[in-house]
A and B are shown apart, each in its own frame.
Chain A
Amino acid sequence: MPAIRFPASAIPLLSLCKGHGENFIFRTYADLIGFLAAYGFKLSADYDEPLPTKLEFASNPNAIELDIFSNRGLYSNFLIIAMWYETWKAYSTDDDLLCKLIEKHVALGAIHLSRILGESDSRMSIVELLISDKIEPSEITI
């Protein structure tokens, strides 16, 4: 069963999930992953941030099966991301490949967001990211 693993770079963001902090935003890890994937996509697509090539994954939380994303209405977003690539057909017909692509976006989004959130109030910073059309990408070393 194809699944998306939890990138190690997203570990600092676990505090945004229910069960890890009082002021959580995401009720499930899948929601966090979906959000990070979208953010990673923006960084990559709009700001040419390179997707990480070598990824490390956390053993906990476990990998999340793709069906779970489908159930939470997030799979479509993954396909939309995939369709941005010329090789979209391969991603859309091969779930494992799609999962790997999404994992890279999640990792990129996590690295960037962890850095931002380390500096200020998490919630308001995320709000700013969502409202603003522009993101000032920092130099990120992946």
Chain B
Amino acid sequence: MILRHLTFRNFLVFYGEQHLTFPSDQSENVTLVLANNNTGKTSIIRGLKFLFYGSDALALSKFARSPSAIINERAANEAKKGDDIEGYVDLTFSLGDDIYRFRRSVLASRTNEGLDRGEEILSEYVESESGAIRIIKDSGGIMENRLRSWMPRGLFDAFYFQGEPLDGKMLEGVGGMHQVLTGFLHIDKWEEAADALGKVQQDYERQLNTIAAASREYQGKLTTLQTTEKRLGETKAQVTKLTLEIQELEAREAVLSEELKTLGNTDDYDRLVQHKTDLRSRIDRLEADIDRAHERLGQIIEASQGAPFLLSAVEPARRVLRELEKNNVLPADITEGFVQRILKEKTCVCGRVHDESSRQHWERYLKTALSAKLSHRFLDVLNRVSEGSKRGPVELAAQTRRDLTETQARIERCKKDLHAARQEQEAVDEQIRQNPHTNQKARIAEVVDALRTVSRQLSDAKEKRGSAEGLINNLTFTAGKLRKEAEMAKPKGKAAAQIAEVERAIKLTGELREFLSDYRISLRKRFHEQAQALISALYDPHAVDRTRARIDPNSFLPQIINQEGKPVTMVGGGQQTLLSLAYVSALAQLRKGIHETMRELNLYLGKADDQSFMVDSPFAATDPNYVRAIASFLTGGARQVIILMARQQWDQAAQHLLPKASKVYALRLHSKVSELKNLHEEDFDFVVGKKTLRLIAPAEDVKQRYTEIMEIA
């Protein structure tokens, strides 16, 4: 529904006739209405509500029982006793290619006590081809119903909202939402249509039975066939029901899986746990290294043979050995044992008999000679203590010290690394303790449990559907066979032609029922997919904090999620407004899409078109970033927008809205000066471009305040 012209006559604050014309082209779609508080912004929305639903819909106590209460006070006071006075709202709008004009008026008479109750009249203004206007008054509420089908009552607050859209009736809860969506998407009508088709089919079957009564055999076959087909229909209905149930369960499963994914989005936690495991391995490795190094120290100590302690003995030993070498004792060329054997003999080694001299000579030698064993031992020592020996205490001491120092350094390094690793481990333990995932285990368990239940139910439902589908195959086969038999037994002549006609009607009705059944199954899924795609396209590019909009697949309610996919619970006014606008806009587009699809299928659900939006003060409690985002959305994302701007929001939003506005109206208040004692005239100043508009016209002669609509750009 695109608004074109709106006229008020003596309606609420509007005295006399006041007009608003709204640009409706795709490229020129923004209208601004500037007004101070309490000067008529809300009266514009009330005017639309009055037009669509009558004075009863204006939820103000003073209007509750008297339609004439909508008549402007000044106009009412100016009327003389006995005069008739009229107040109305006149709206021209388009739906697709068609243009409509409706007027709802209240005609009241002036009495001594003021206006009488008045009469409320709804009329349509129809232009004939010749250009003449014909006024048609509503009769029997037909016009009321048309208007309400084009602008369902439940949707009005969403399209023409005053402040907090998501707080409105449309979104008061999942149940309420479902009810609204049912009406919004005409789901109730589909069910009505399916029921009606069922009744039509039964009528046809009754007709067929009447014709068939002429042939007993044919009637018998037909009865069996109809019983089989009835059972077939019931089984198909069962499959439809199960399929819908499966869709519900799959949606529930998806929600739970999503939550589990969010809860189980434990990248940080997993990383920490992995880090802790790595650290534990590193600590174990370092501890093992230290143990091995200690073991190595023991091996070095043992292998040292205490050599570093013997260094003082090396030089004396060398001296002794040098002396022995000098005296030709070492190495022992003739050992002590050899000398003793010679002395025991009668003759010397030279063959002469021993005499005193030779014996003395040998005994002198004996005093200095070494045993063979001792000679070997000294030679071994000599080898060890010689300069450059690899086996002696000097080299062994040096090697020992090198090995020990190196191993000690290795131990120190390992200990240092171990200390660092343990400190890091403590830090990681602390991070794990503070990680929210640690405390989410209970919820994860619940979700996993619920997921198991849903999966089981899903599996059961699928199994039942499988069985039902098997039964359908059998019944279809049986029905086919019976149909052939019935065909054979079918009466001939005129009756045959009648039967063929009725059968064709039954077949068509059945096909239509099946189509509706299938379409209902896919509707829910399609609705969610399309709503998600639309709201993503409408919200995501405008969200300055890189949040995203998500449609819950179960409730269809919108929510805001952060970059990690987690719901954002602390939502500011600006974000909320942007989300609401995107959601309502997405629903409007979806509704239009469904209407078009149904029209292609020759199912007429009433008219639906692109939707106009009228928003009252959308920038309340909004930070500058969202002012820009909302302005950008309104002026680019919606088909037609009428923005009612209060003085206090104008300064921050003007720069974003003015360049996009095709029309700018202002509401000027005419008031007594005395009524302004607590106000300053400057409070009514709006800066529009280079001009300053003062939206108040104080005058002494004005008895009752009223508002004038001025077109300013």
Q: List the interface of chain A (C-beta within 8 A of B).
A: 23-27, 31, 34-39, 41-42, 45-46, 73-77, 79-81, 83-84, 88, 92-93, 123-124, 126-127, 130-131
CA A76 to CA B321, docked complex, whole Å: 13
Task: Point out the residues of chain A lying under 8 angstroms from B304, CB to CB.
Answer: 35, 130
Chief secondary structure at chain B's binding surface: helix
25 contacts between A and B (CB under 8 A): A25-B298, A35-B305, A35-B306, A38-B307, A39-B306, A42-B312, A75-B380, A76-B380, A76-B384, A77-B307, A80-B314, A83-B313, A83-B316, A83-B317, A84-B316, A88-B320, A92-B374, A92-B377, A123-B297, A123-B301, A124-B297, A130-B309, A130-B400, A130-B404, A131-B408
A130-B301 in contact (CB<8A): yes
Q: When the two chains form the complex, which single residue of B294, B312, B317, B377 contacts A46, counting CB atoms closer than 8 Å?
A: B312
CA A23 to CA B316, docked complex, whole Å: 36
Chief secondary structure at chain A's binding surface: helix
Q: When the two chains form the complex, which single residue of B317, B380, B405, B408 contacts A84, counting CB atoms closer than 8 Å?
A: B317
Q: When the two chains form the complex, which single residue of B305, B308, B320 contacts A83, counting CB atoms closer than 8 Å?
A: B320
A80-B301 in contact (CB<8A): no
Interface string of B305-333 (1 = CB under 8 A from A): 11111101110110011000000000000
Task: Point out the residues of chain A lying under 8 angstroms from B54, CB to CB.
Answer: none
Task: Please indicate which of the listed interface residues A84, A92, A130 has the most CB atoms of chain B within 10 Å of its own CB.
Answer: A130
Task: Point out the residues of chain A lying under 8 angstroms from B384, CB to CB.
Answer: 76, 80
Task: Point out the residues of chain A lying under 8 angstroms from B321, CB to CB.
Answer: 83
Residue ID in chain A nearest B400 by CB atoms: A130
The 10 closest A-B pairs by CB, nearest first: A38-B306, A42-B309, A25-B298, A38-B309, A83-B317, A35-B306, A84-B313, A83-B320, A45-B312, A80-B317
- Flag whether B381 is at the interface (Cβ < 8 A): yes
A77-B306 in contact (CB<8A): yes
Interface string of B1-34 (1 = CB under 8 A from A): 0000000000000000000000000000000000
Task: Point out the residues of chain B lying under 8 angstroms from A80, CB to CB.
Answer: 310, 313-314, 317, 381, 384-385, 393
CA A46 to CA B400, docked complex, whole Å: 20
Could you tell me how many residues of chain B have their Cβ less than 8 Å away from some Cβ of chain A? Answer: 33
How many A-B pairs have beta carbons closer than 8 Å: the answer is 101
- Flag whether B430 is at the interface (Cβ < 8 A): no
B310-A41 in contact (CB<8A): yes
Nearest Cβ on chain B to A59's Cβ, whole angstroms: 25
Q: When the two chains form the complex, which single residue of A24, A34, A83, A131 contacts B298, counting CB atoms closer than 8 Å?
A: A24
CA A23 to CA B299, docked complex, whole Å: 11
- Flag whether B302 is at the interface (Cβ < 8 A): yes
Residue ID in chain B nearest A93 by CB atoms: B374
- Flag whether B410 is at the interface (Cβ < 8 A): no
Task: Point out the residues of chain A lying under 8 angstroms from B309, CB to CB.
Answer: 38-39, 41-42, 130
Task: Point out the residues of chain A lying under 8 angstroms from B313, CB to CB.
Answer: 41, 45, 80-81, 83-84
Task: Point out the residues of chain A lying under 8 angstroms from B310, CB to CB.
Answer: 38, 41-42, 77, 80-81
Known: A31-B302, A37-B306, A38-B310. A77 touches B320 (CB 8 A): no
Given A27-B302, A39-B309, A74-B305, 11 additional A-B pairs, CB 8 A: A31-B302, A35-B301, A38-B310, A42-B309, A76-B380, A77-B393, A79-B381, A80-B393, A83-B320, A84-B313, A131-B401
Nearest Cβ on chain B to A38's Cβ, whole angstroms: 3
Q: Which of B355-375 touch A at CB < 8 Å?
A: 371, 374
Task: Please indicate which of the listed interface residues A25, A73, A127 has the most CB atoms of chain B within 10 Å of its own CB.
Answer: A127
- Flag whether B218 is at the interface (Cβ < 8 A): no
Q: When the two chains form the complex, which single residue of B294, B305, B405 contacts A73, counting CB atoms closer than 8 Å?
A: B305
Interface string of B373-394 (1 = CB under 8 A from A): 0100110110011000000010
Q: When the two chains form the complex, which single residue of A74, A77, A81, A126 contacts B301, counting CB atoms closer than 8 Å?
A: A126
CA A35 to CA B298, docked complex, whole Å: 12
Residue ID in chain B nearest A43 by CB atoms: B309
Nearest Cβ on chain B to A98's Cβ, whole angstroms: 10
Q: When the two chains form the complex, which single residue of B297, B301, B378 contacts A79, counting CB atoms closer than 8 Å?
A: B378
CA A25 to CA B299, docked complex, whole Å: 6
CA A14 to CA B688, docked complex, whole Å: 103
A130-B308 in contact (CB<8A): yes
B317-A123 in contact (CB<8A): no
A77-B305 in contact (CB<8A): yes
CA A76 to CA B703, docked complex, whole Å: 134
CA A5 to CA B377, docked complex, whole Å: 22
Task: Point out the residues of chain B lying under 8 angstroms from A131, CB to CB.
Answer: 308, 401, 404-405, 408
Known: A25-B298, A93-B374. A83 touches B306 (CB 8 A): no
